């Protein structure tokens, strides 16, 4: 059978988990539809998910539509868990974007659709909850076209909106208005089809229309829209047909070189690591030895392949399939299995976390256990980004929002028996160099106490390019392990700049290098005091790098959100001063009858305050959407972040800790 790896994405509470249950029920995988409210759904398997009624971790289930096996990945809808969606996007063949017929297009819906379009992932839209009071048809369609993409077409009509008997009737070849609208939409994206449409619009066959429609949907040029209800099942049969006929199946190259991507990691009952792998090429078998990541290798001890529900034990997993793989002890999320694909991109699809907090164990004796537990959680969510402060014996984590903090707290208590509290949540800033700075220290020359020569130059780089390491010395000027040690230390040191924030968008160039070769006294063993080691380069690099960075100078940038605020028009006078107090800057103001739409920028640190203050001046009618947009230079007092290293900016303090001498 052919395979389709399908993602279900939505704003929280749009009903995607309920839709997953309905699709599984319709395919005969489950005998009874579970309830999110009752905590009985197939994909929300974590106790915490069942308790809170939200999806926290992505989950994979499988069902069959005719001759196609669909691996369906249910993803979180809450923006605090966008990292889970991030990892799933790289393994999808197609997606279903779920929208509520009551709430319509919401903040997260827009973020998701923009990303799906940027990655050219073929996407169907399912407007759910047509049986709920307040459900709308024309309004939601208009909102989708205005806020998401104009390249959409409704695939049928909805009747009885807002009632238990609400239904969906698919359009067919006899619906002249539908075929005319479809032909016009397709002609917008294909010149050859446009010419045929102009010449033969009266004789253009419905079969050719559907064939071109399927081709453009698979290219993510157009997006069919279905209406229905996951609870009653209305419209789900039509959606299932669309999934089968309009979305592309996975490429099948089972005999090619092994290539796959790890998009999820979990721990088994005995603590063993289990990697979820999407195979793009080749076949992996039990007992195979596989390279992964940069330089890892492991022996496959067991494989599970998803088939009609959950994963079942199999001797192999082949191209197009998703498998659970045991035996890769050091594997991490994002690692490539076997050969790296040319199309694979390290670019982040969504914004990074902009908040952080210190996790404090209620019992001081739990410090060690807390670090181990958070390390395991970071395996499953690398964007938690543990930051260990050995000086103060503290651990901080990065966050997308307060709900994520609550989930971490509950997970530590339920799964690890560790009760924790949190310090105040703070905003994560970044530093960027403003100029060029260089420094070097020569082997065996004061004040350098290390047997290494290192020279580094720091230059500004274009926005969003991260950190690039370059060589201005001959590659053979010293052992590659020493050059690698310098590069790794550069990247680690730049996690804390002049003001303590991570330094980004810069180029660091190795300008000087030198070492003492391995040697010893006559007839003696290797003498470290006479020979350079990688440790010498790791210890010297922070001093040189921070000296160069101090000469270059840095500027601190704070994260900014774009906001979209819909309020009653008569409350605008009360809202504008509140926005000004929070340093929010409206860029556009648009009157829409009794409502007013404001769009602008606000510091990420003030979004939560705006959410709390908004109900007062707007009589509870204000609707706020916000999402990370860019970093902006901090004005006024520059915020400093407490350092967690031995502070190479203070040479005396650094050397006292590193070599116990000044």
Residue 166 domain-assigned (yes or no): yes
Quick check: 38 pLDDT over 60? no
pLDDT of the residue at 58: 74
- Close Cβ partners of 190 (under 8 Å, ≥ 6 residues apart): 212, 216
Query: Are residues 49 and 109 both part of a single domain?
Result: yes
Query: Are residues 302 and 448 both part of a single domain?
Result: no
CATH of the domain at 9: 3.40.50.300
Query: Are residues 83 and 116 both part of a single domain?
Result: yes
Query: Are residues 274 and 412 both part of a single domain?
Result: no
Report d(CA 217, CA 220) in Å as an integer: 5
Query: Are residues 380 and 283 both part of a single domain?
Result: no
Residue 446 domain-assigned (yes or no): yes
Query: Are residues 107 and 6 both part of a single domain?
Result: yes
**Mean pLDDT, residues 205-211:** 86
Q: Can you spell out the DSSP letters for 452-465?
A: EEEEEEEEE--TT-
Residue 202 domain-assigned (yes or no): no
pLDDT of the residue at 582: 94
Query: Are residues 142 and 270 both part of a single domain?
Result: no
Residue 656 domain-assigned (yes or no): no
Report d(CA 286, CA 97) in Å as an integer: 36
Query: Are residues 229 and 82 both part of a single domain?
Result: yes
**Mean pLDDT, residues 237-246:** 95
Report d(CA 501, CA 555) in Å as an integer: 10
Q: How far is CA 528 from CA 423, 489, 531, 658, in A?
A: 44, 21, 5, 16
Query: Are residues 43 and 54 both part of a single domain?
Result: yes
Report d(CA 428, CA 405) in Å as an integer: 15
**Mean pLDDT, residues 137-163:** 94
3-state SS of 47-107? HHHHHHCCCCCCEEEEEEECCEEEEEEECCCCHHHHHHHHHHHCCCCEEEEEEECCCECCH
- Close Cβ partners of 47 (under 8 Å, ≥ 6 residues apart): 414
**Mean pLDDT, residues 269-285:** 89
Residue 101 domain-assigned (yes or no): yes
Contact 366, 416 (CB under 8 A): no
Residue 196 domain-assigned (yes or no): no
Parallel, antiparallel, or unpaired for β 259-267 and 273-281? antiparallel
CATH of the domain at 523: 3.30.230.10
Last residue of a domain, one of 532, 552, 572: 552
**For residue 568, what pLDDT band results from cuts at 50, 70 and 90?**
very high
For 198-207, 241-250, 517-526, which range has the lowest pLDDT when averaged over its residues? 517-526
Quick check: 526 pLDDT over 60? no
pLDDT of the residue at 425: 85
CATH of the domain at 623: 3.30.70.240
Query: Are residues 12 and 71 both part of a single domain?
Result: yes
Nearest CA among 311, 321, 309 for reference residue 64: 309
Residue 162 domain-assigned (yes or no): yes
- Is the bond preceding 293 in cis, omega lying within 30 degrees of 0? no
Nearest CA among 503, 593, 590, 589 for reference residue 542: 503
Quick check: 52 pLDDT over 70? no
Quick check: 600 pLDDT over 90? yes
**Mean pLDDT, residues 381-395:** 80
Highest mean pLDDT among 96-100, 331-335, 354-358: 96-100
Q: Can you spell out the DSSP letters for 458-487?
A: EEE--TT--EEEEE-S-GGGS-HHHHHHHH
Report d(CA 94, CA 214) in Å as an integer: 13
Last residue of a domain, one of 552, 572, 603: 552
Mean pLDDT across the chain: 87
Question: How many structural domains is the chain composed of?
Answer: 5
Query: Are residues 152 and 34 both part of a single domain?
Result: yes
Residue 155 domain-assigned (yes or no): yes
User: pTM score, two decimals?
Assistant: 0.73
Torsions phi, psi for 10 (to 5 deg): -175, 165
- For residues 11-44, one letter each, b for 16 or more C-beta atoms within 10 angstroms of the residue's C-beta and e for the rest, the string is bbbbbbbbbbbbbbbbbebbeebbebeeeebbbb
The torsion region of residue 220 among left (phi > 0), alpha (psi -120 to 50) and beta comes to left
CATH of the domain at 397: 3.30.70.870
pLDDT in tens, 327-352: 988 888 888 888 877 655 555 555 67
Q: Please report how many Cα atoms fall inside a 13 Å half-sphere around the Cα of residue 596, on the Cβ side.
A: 15
Q: How far apart are the first and last CA of the chain?
A: 69
State whether the Cα torsion 90-96-98-104 is positive or negative: positive
Identify the DSSP state of 383.
G
Query: Are residues 283 and 413 both part of a single domain?
Result: no
Domain that holds residue 23: 2-172+222-246
């Amino acid at each position: 059978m052919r395979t389709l790896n399908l993602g279900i994405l939505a704003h929280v509470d749009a009903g995607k988990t309920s839709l997953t249950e309905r699709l599984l029920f319709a395919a005969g995988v489950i005998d009874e539809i579970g309830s999110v409210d009752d905590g009985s759904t197939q994909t929300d398997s974590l106790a915490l998910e069942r308790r809170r009624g939200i999806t926290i971790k992505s989950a994979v289930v499988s069902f069959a539509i005719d001759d196609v096996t669909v691996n369906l990945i249910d993803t979180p809808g809450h923006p605090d868990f966008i990292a889970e969606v991030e990892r799933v996007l790289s393994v999808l063949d197609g997606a279903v974007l779920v929208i509520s017929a009551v709430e319509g297009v919401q903040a997260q819906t827009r973020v998701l659709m923009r990303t799906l379009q940027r990655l050219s992932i073929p996407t169907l839209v399912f407007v759910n909850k047509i049986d709920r009071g307040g459900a709308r048809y024309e309004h939601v369609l208009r909102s989708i076209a205005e806020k998401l993409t104009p390249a959409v077409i409704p695939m049928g009509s909805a009747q009885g909106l807002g009632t238990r008997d609400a239904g969906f009737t698919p359009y067919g070849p006899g619906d002249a208005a539908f075929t005319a609208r479809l032909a016009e939409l397709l002609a917008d994206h294909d010149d050859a089809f446009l010419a045929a449409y102009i010449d033969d619009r009266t004789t253009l066959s419905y079969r050719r229309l559907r064939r071109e429609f399927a081709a453009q949907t698979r290219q993510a040029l157009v997006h069919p829209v279905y209406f229905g209800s996951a609870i009653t099942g209305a419209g789900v049969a039509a959606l299932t047909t669309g999934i089968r006929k309009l979305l592309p199946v996975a490429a099948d190259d089972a005999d090619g070189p092994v290539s796959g991507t790890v998009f999820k990691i979990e721990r088994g009952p005995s603590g063993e690591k289990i990697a979820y792998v999407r195979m793009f090429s080749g076949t992996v078998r039990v007992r195979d030895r596989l390279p992964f990541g940069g330089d890892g290798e492991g022996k496959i001890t067991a494989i599970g392949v998803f088939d009609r529900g959950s994963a079942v034990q199999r001797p192999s997993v082949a191209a197009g399939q998703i498998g659970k793989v045991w035996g890769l002890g050091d594997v991490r999320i994002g690692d490539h299995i076997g050969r790296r694909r040319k199309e694979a991109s390290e670019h982040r699809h969504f914004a990074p976390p902009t908040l952080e907090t210190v996790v404090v164990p209620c019992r001081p004796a739990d410090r060690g256990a807390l670090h181990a537990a958070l390390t395991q959680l970071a395996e499953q969510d690398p964007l938690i980004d543990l930051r260990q402060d050995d000086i103060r014996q503290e651990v901080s984590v990065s966050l997308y929002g307060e709900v994520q903090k609550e989930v971490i707290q509950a997970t530590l208590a339920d799964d690890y028996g560790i009760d924790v509290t949190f310090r105040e949540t703070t905003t994560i800033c970044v530093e960027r160099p403003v100029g060029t700075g260089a420094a070097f220290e020569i082997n065996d020359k004061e004040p350098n106490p290390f047997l290494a020569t290192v020279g580094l130059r720091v230059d500004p780089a274009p926005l969003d390019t991260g950190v690039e390491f370059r060589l201005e010395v001959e590659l053979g000027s010293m052992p590659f392990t020493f050059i690698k040690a310098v590069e790794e230390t550069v990247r680690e040191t730049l996690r804390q700049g002049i003001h303590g924030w991570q330094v980004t968008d810069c180029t660091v160039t190795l300008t000087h290098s030198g070492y003492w070769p391995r040697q010893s006294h006559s007839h003696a063993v290797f003498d470290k005091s006479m020979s350079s080691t990688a440790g010498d380069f790791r210890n010297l690099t922070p001093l040189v790098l921070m000296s160069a960075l101090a000469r270059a100078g840095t500027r601190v940038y704070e994260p900014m959100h774009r906001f979209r605020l819909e309020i009653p028009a008569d409350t605008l006078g009360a809202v504008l001063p509140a926005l000004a107090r929070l340093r929010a800057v409206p860029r556009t103001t648009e009157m829409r009858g009794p409502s007013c739409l404001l769009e602008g920028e606000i510091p990420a640190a003030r979004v939560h305050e705006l959410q709390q203050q908004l109900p007062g001046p707007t009589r509870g009618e204000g609707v706020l959407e916000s999402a990370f947009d860019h970093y902006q230079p901090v004005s006024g007092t520059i915020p400093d972040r407490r350092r967690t290293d031995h502070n190479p900016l203070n040479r005396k303090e650094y050397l006292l800790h590193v070599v116990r001498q000044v």
